[in-house]
Structure 1
Amino acid sequence: MSSPSAPFLSLAPIVTRRAFLGGLASASGLVMLHPFAAQANANQAHLRLMETTDIHVHVYPYDYYGDKPNETLGLSRTASIIDAIRAEAGNTLLVDNGDFLQGNPMGDFMAYQKGLKEGDVHPVIKAMNLLGYEAGTLGNHEFNYGLDFMAKALSGANFPYVCANLTTGTLAEDPTRDALFFKPYTIIEKTVTDGSGATSLLKIGLIGFVPPQIMLWDVKNLEGKAQTRDIVEAARSWVPVMKEDGADIIVALSHSGIDGSGQTDRMENASLYLAGVEGIDAVLTGHQHLVFPGPKSFDGIAGVDPVKGTLQGKPAVMAGFWGSHLGLIDLLLERDGKSWKIVDFTTEARPIYHREDKTVVADVNDRADVLAAAKAEHEATLAYVRTPVGKTSAPLYSYFALVADDPSVQIVSQAQTWYVRDMLKETAWKDLPVLSAAAPFKAGGRGGADYYTDVPAGDIAIKNVADLYLYPNTVQAVVITGAQVENWLEMSAGMFNRLAPGQTDQPLLSTGFPSYNFDVIDGVTYEIDLSQPARFDTDGKLADATAHRITDLKFDGQPIDPARKFVVATNNYRAGGGGKFPEIASDKVVFAAPDTNRDVIVRYIHDQGTINPAADANWRFKPLPGTTALFETGPKARPLLGQVKAAKIEDAGDGADGFARFRLVL
């Protein structure tokens, strides 16, 4: 997700990111100053705003689900460049933009196992205290463990938290009269040094915002205890108060992303419109787990310049997630009498790693004192993820996931259905039936003959979830019709070659179709007729209007109504158009969860105690007498042949490259 640094504006010469990453000149020990710091005039000062966002408890560069190090994340890595980045600047301010308290097993361990007693400091807060953070705001995930735990965690911070749109009760007619959980803003006074070496007082106002949707996402923790106000509405009321209170410049800490679809009341991703509030000078964003500036994610949105790094002409930054980047906004300030104004700026999201081909290369090392601060909790978390959190009554394997209903896919769908039903129970879609779409991720192919999910029956640990769900997707739900459900399945059926009835040992699987696009939809029953050609090509375009591989499609035992509406639980990749499934795109999304699919699976296992992932055989191939097809899978599948109920499969000997060959009898 790394993005090119923004070009410097008119007052500054071009400086490459390579030069920045050089940091300290090794031979001379001299610091390479930012041009604003090096060239400021007598009445000018350089201020560097530094942002972290969406840390999600990733202090260590470690994937607790996979139980292995990860070079792309970790506040200990981000921390290691902060000193050098401070040294490049005249004056600096470091803040966090929320979502630090939940998001990986260390967060769960602290909340559910260890807890916080009086005097305890949360490991993320310990790291932030070490690094000298000066303020923070709240993200939606701060509320996941309840208000009491959040309060205990925040009490350990050596810096203030601000939030202007979270109240303790009923909304007042005037937002400035709301009873707020936190101070709406803070004003930090800094003695800044100008270009001549003279010092002056600069008052920096910081105001924070949380997505109003926390009242839906965490209703169990917040109902009757809190209320949220529209972000832009709150800003318009509080910014003038901040000006009256003496703020020279105002920076919004907005745990809210960038959405150009048009301003609406209580919108989740309101940062673009927040930037339009008079008096706000810069916006620090987050929540979307994206990088800004950067041309890929925000091209074509009116009011957004993804190269210069501006929202409605004002400097803005979004620093990725999990510590992947440090967000930087550099301001050249000019004193005019008793007031300050911004005369130039640059923005950058500086990464902690880069990719060379498909290899991740770390650009920085860990900061030792940050690792030391969280060492005890890290080691306890390792023990936690390796400890069973539930049981599975049947083995979880994906050896036959492409030819029969499969337990590893089944458990993902069960968890998604459980979660989405609960999240939508108080919404306009509460009465719609919930289906679930899930695909096998580990299904051999280029990964080799051992690249399959294989978790035995019995105890299941949190790290086993990585075997079930490889990617850090988030849960989303779409509302579509029965006809669109059918086309979704028709697209998935492109996994298979067309078979000639009556012929034997034909190749079954299409080599150009990735397994992660073979979605099985639970909640309906259906057959796949392999004598038919594929209805859609790999780009989701209609290839044969007469083709219908999906037959006998039923819901609740009856033929599916093409016009009936259904909620389908899936992930953000598919719901956003990933895989180019026909008519499945972001305009169908009715719920975008704050939680990853992995986290939902863990919660489901914890809730159930013992899960029953046995496949329910809701799909099968249509019989074609006299027809067989060959496919390859891992050799460890052989002892499991008798467990496959939805298809007749025979051992057909050894395949190539360590695979085993099997025969599907149709």
Structure 2
Amino acid sequence: MSSTIALHPISRRALLGGLAASSALAVLHPFSTRAAANQAHLRIMETTDLHVHVFPYDYYADKPNDTLGLARTASIIDQIRAEATNAILVDNGDFLQGNPMGDYIAYKRGMKAGDVHPIIAAMNVLGYDCGTLGNHEFNYGLDFMLNVLNGANFPVVCANLTKGALAATPRQDALFLKPYIILDRKLKDGTGQEHPIRIGLIGFVPPQIMTWDAKNLEGKANARDIVKAAEAWVPQMREEGADIVVALSHSGIGQEAYAENLENASVPLAAIEGIDAIVTGHSHLDFPGPKFEGLAGVDNAKGLISGKPGVMGGFWGSHLGLIDLLLERDGNAWRVIGSTSEARPIYRREEKKVIAEVGDKTEVLAAAKKDHEATLAYVRTPVGKTSAPLYSYFALVADDPSVQIVSQAQTWYIRDMLKDTEHRDLPVLSAAAPFKAGGRGGAEYYTDVPAGDIAIKNVADLYLYPNTVQAVVITGEQVRNWLEMSAGIFNQVAPGSSDAVLINADFPSYNFDVIDGVTYEIDLSQPARFDKDGNLVNPQANRIRDLQFDGKAIDPAQKFVVATNNYRAGGGGHFPEIAADKVVFVAPDTNRDVIVRYIVEQGTINPSADSNWKFTPLEGTSVLFDSSPKARQLLSEVKAVTIEDAGDGADGFARFRIRL
């Protein structure tokens, strides 16, 4: 991008005026008002990580939710189009899985030839120009995904998903989808004159799909390195006459330096010559935004990634990503001379309240109404009872009932599956993590199932993903390192310090595995042995103390079966030495199905936590963590640690103190 005009991003308030009223006049973006005769304003609108959220509804809590839903995002699209002289709309992937509606369609309703998936039906209403794939598109299998894509009235592209083995060069790859498309459009310049433009759109998916969905992809597909694929295809797009090229990168904004097969490759991808702008996703964040301050290769103030305009539009429809380009026509060619970026939200927070900025687009609701109602009936179906409440408010600081029941079900299942195998005499442990533990999901993002009837929606709430059960055989020493990796979620705490922040916000809760069947302490005074990517950074550190099996110190050489899921067993989360070569059992059943079957067989479950782990005492030391305000009613239920109310946190959270 040459001769770039340095412009600060336009504030949302400056452009928002009258957004909630359909009759309100749009406020034109400055590029549209100041474009000259040979200049044009092009707006790129992005949705990303929708995860089947059409309605503003939380199926797990079984109640409306103003922070999500394509119907809400859609209601601002017409207004946002009207702020620009020229605009296109793209989706950046992860639309097919992620809530019970996705599971209902995949597992209950099914997809017959000619059927249109509700998320696709909703997207078809909005006039998308193009989409790409995310990693969760593969969770239900290739055939299911391709059948769903047949219902889209917009093209879906992916340049690095291959049929079978990788070819000698990317351009020789046999791809499932077109690597890119080139849109032939007319742009109105500053005087209203129309000029032709060719807009190239190319898509990418994380190569880690081959690990995360090996059961669906192994022997059928492969995934090429994102940057290498782009280096091959972008020049061809230019050769075919693309005036500008926009990368649809279902990949996060991570490190600046290139490394092969990066999961979060958007910074080196944006640096490729010939790419003019990049829409990103996968990380469930909004860019520009405070999470990206100071990141190498990123200009958060100007919304630039490797010097190119970029955006990340949140998740579940929480934001619409906007890139505004000021283009200048030089002869018959266009070039970018200015840009702004913004992730525009569908809601705001005022103190502890969520305030909707917009209403629903009724046409989008209508497109998915029948399946929404069928999903409600599906998730409300009882499967058994629980004798105690299931909640995850304290899942990151104490042994927890929502994690306990998952481990009980996994252990029950794997013992039965291995009873007639060579591994029948090995002790069975179980690894499980809390999926809903606040964080980026907000102060309401917790599991909370009261005692009494337990329904499918509750099981889906306990276990968000359609993972399948797997078992690995590892040593006692590898069990220890598994736990050392999990303990990386905690910040190091100086003994005697007051009110240190306990949780490392960059460590995802789904990588905080609790291993049931052993007992142990976590010493917060020690540094983490591994970083969040599984690299050994402090070899002498030992956060895991007093690790015992059957009441005795664990034997480093003893072998154990550990029940887990396909994501972790395949190397997901970068846990040391946990990879496909350790797998001894691959189940045909999802973890959720196993939990349902366990509850059905038990009739009434007892999910009370057994307090098999705790923090090592540190005299005179206290730490703080945030949870839902609802957690205040359950403080007395936590046995392994003493927790007290410490007031209010940010963004609707409550703050709590643990005296170690």
TM-score, with length taken from structure 1: 0.71
Contact 2:407 2:432 in 1 (8 A): yes
- 3-state SS in 1 of match to 2:227: helix
Amino acid at match of 2:480: G
Mapping of residues 500-539 of structure 1, within 5 Å: 521-526=514-519, 536=524
Residue in 1 aligned with 2:324?
330
Residue in 2 aligned with 1:595?
none
Contact 1:275 1:311 in 2 (8 A): yes
Distance, in Å, in 2 between the alignment partners of 1:157 and 1:400 is: 40
Residue in 2 aligned with 1:86?
81
Q: 1:616 and 1:348, CA in 2 relative to 1: closer, same or farther beyond 3 A?
A: closer
- 3-state SS in 2 of match to 1:233: helix
Q: Deviation of residue 489 (structure 1)?
A: 8.7
Q: Deviation of residue 560 (structure 1)?
A: 2.6
Identity value in percent: 56
Contact 2:407 2:516 in 1 (8 A): no
Contact 1:13 1:35 in 2 (8 A): no
Residue in 2 aligned with 1:374?
368
Residue in 1 aligned with 2:533?
none
Q: 1:570 and 1:464, CA in 2 relative to 1: closer, same or farther beyond 3 A?
A: closer
Offset from partner CA, 1:131-171 (integer Å, 9 cap, x none) = 10011111111111112221221111111111111111221
Q: 1:229 and 1:619, CA in 2 relative to 1: closer, same or farther beyond 3 A?
A: closer
Residue in 1 aligned with 2:423?
none
- 3-state SS in 2 of match to 1:411: helix
Q: 1:121 and 1:177, CA in 2 relative to 1: closer, same or farther beyond 3 A?
A: same
Larger radius of gyration: 1
Residue in 2 aligned with 1:316?
310
Q: 1:262 and 1:551, CA in 2 relative to 1: closer, same or farther beyond 3 A?
A: closer
Match of 1:300 among 294, 300, 309: 294
- 3-state SS in 2 of match to 1:374: helix
Q: 1:486 and 1:611, CA in 2 relative to 1: closer, same or farther beyond 3 A?
A: farther
Q: Deviation of residue 94 (structure 1)?
A: 0.2
Residue in 2 aligned with 1:135?
130
Residues 1:455 and 2:451 aligned together: yes
Residue in 1 aligned with 2:649?
none
- 3-state SS in 2 of match to 1:131: coil
Residues 1:363 and 2:354 aligned together: no
Q: 1:251 and 1:385, CA in 2 relative to 1: closer, same or farther beyond 3 A?
A: same
Q: 1:416 and 1:205, CA in 2 relative to 1: closer, same or farther beyond 3 A?
A: farther
Q: Deviation of residue 553 (structure 1)?
A: 3.6
Contact 1:67 1:463 in 2 (8 A): no
Q: 1:12 and 1:634, CA in 2 relative to 1: closer, same or farther beyond 3 A?
A: closer
- 3-state SS in 1 of match to 2:71: helix
Q: 1:344 and 1:410, CA in 2 relative to 1: closer, same or farther beyond 3 A?
A: same
Residue in 2 aligned with 1:352?
346
Offset from partner CA, 1:457-496 (integer Å, 9 cap, x none) = x763223554x57999xx9x9x97738958989999x9xx
Offset from partner CA, 1:169-227 (integer Å, 9 cap, x none) = 22111211111101111001111111122111000000111111111111121122111
Residue in 1 aligned with 2:67?
72
Q: 1:72 and 1:488, CA in 2 relative to 1: closer, same or farther beyond 3 A?
A: closer
Offset from partner CA, 1:299-343 (integer Å, 9 cap, x none) = 332111122111110011110100000000000001111111000
Amino acid at match of 1:454: P
Q: Deviation of residue 366 (structure 1)?
A: 0.6
- 3-state SS in 2 of match to 1:379: helix
Match of 2:379 among 380, 385, 391: 385
Distance, in Å, in 2 between the alignment partners of 1:399 and 1:242 is: 49
Q: 1:401 and 1:170, CA in 2 relative to 1: closer, same or farther beyond 3 A?
A: closer
Amino acid at match of 1:99: D
Distance, in Å, in 1 between the alignment partners of 2:576 and 2:125 is: 41
Contact 2:42 2:326 in 1 (8 A): yes
Q: Deviation of residue 251 (structure 1)?
A: 0.5
Q: 1:33 and 1:412, CA in 2 relative to 1: closer, same or farther beyond 3 A?
A: same
Contact 1:144 1:218 in 2 (8 A): yes
Mapping of residues 462-611 of structure 1, within 5 Å: 462-463=457-458, 465-466=460-461, 468=462, 482=480, 485=483, 521-526=514-519, 536=524, 553-555=547-549, 558-560=552-554, 602-606=592-596, 610=600
Q: Deviation of residue 68 (structure 1)?
A: 0.4
Q: Deviation of residue 84 (structure 1)?
A: 0.5
Distance, in Å, in 2 between the alignment partners of 1:75 and 1:400 is: 28
Offset from partner CA, 1:88-113 (integer Å, 9 cap, x none) = 00100001011111110011111111
Residue in 2 aligned with 1:498?
none
Distance, in Å, in 1 between the alignment partners of 2:172 and 2:389 is: 55
- 3-state SS in 2 of match to 1:118: coil
Offset from partner CA, 1:602-638 (integer Å, 9 cap, x none) = 34424657466556957499xxxxxxxxxxx999999
Distance, in Å, in 1 between the alignment partners of 2:381 and 2:157 is: 37
Residues 1:291 and 2:289 aligned together: no
Contact 1:397 1:452 in 2 (8 A): yes
Residue in 1 aligned with 2:623?
none
Distance, in Å, in 1 between the alignment partners of 2:202 and 2:65 is: 33
The answer to which of 395-404 and 201-210 deviates more is 395-404
Residues 1:265 and 2:263 aligned together: no
Q: 1:565 and 1:82, CA in 2 relative to 1: closer, same or farther beyond 3 A?
A: farther
Distance, in Å, in 1 between the alignment partners of 2:199 and 2:64 is: 38
Contact 2:321 2:344 in 1 (8 A): yes
Offset from partner CA, 1:51-93 (integer Å, 9 cap, x none) = 0000000000000000001110000000000001000001000
Residue in 2 aligned with 1:339?
333
- 3-state SS in 1 of match to 2:376: helix
Structure 1: 5+ residue stretches without partners: 1-8, 422-430, 495-509, 529-533, 541-547, 572-585, 593-598, 622-632, 648-666
Q: Deviation of residue 387 (structure 1)?
A: 1.2
Amino acid at match of 1:360: V
Distance, in Å, in 1 between the alignment partners of 2:65 and 2:242 is: 41
Residue in 1 aligned with 2:116?
121
Q: Deviation of residue 259 (structure 1)?
A: 1.4
Q: 1:203 and 1:330, CA in 2 relative to 1: closer, same or farther beyond 3 A?
A: same
What is the number of equivalent residue pairs in this alignment? 554
Amino acid at match of 2:313: A
TM-score, with length taken from structure 2: 0.71
Mapping of residues 18-57 of structure 1, within 5 Å: 18-23=13-18, 30-57=25-52
Q: 1:556 and 1:397, CA in 2 relative to 1: closer, same or farther beyond 3 A?
A: same
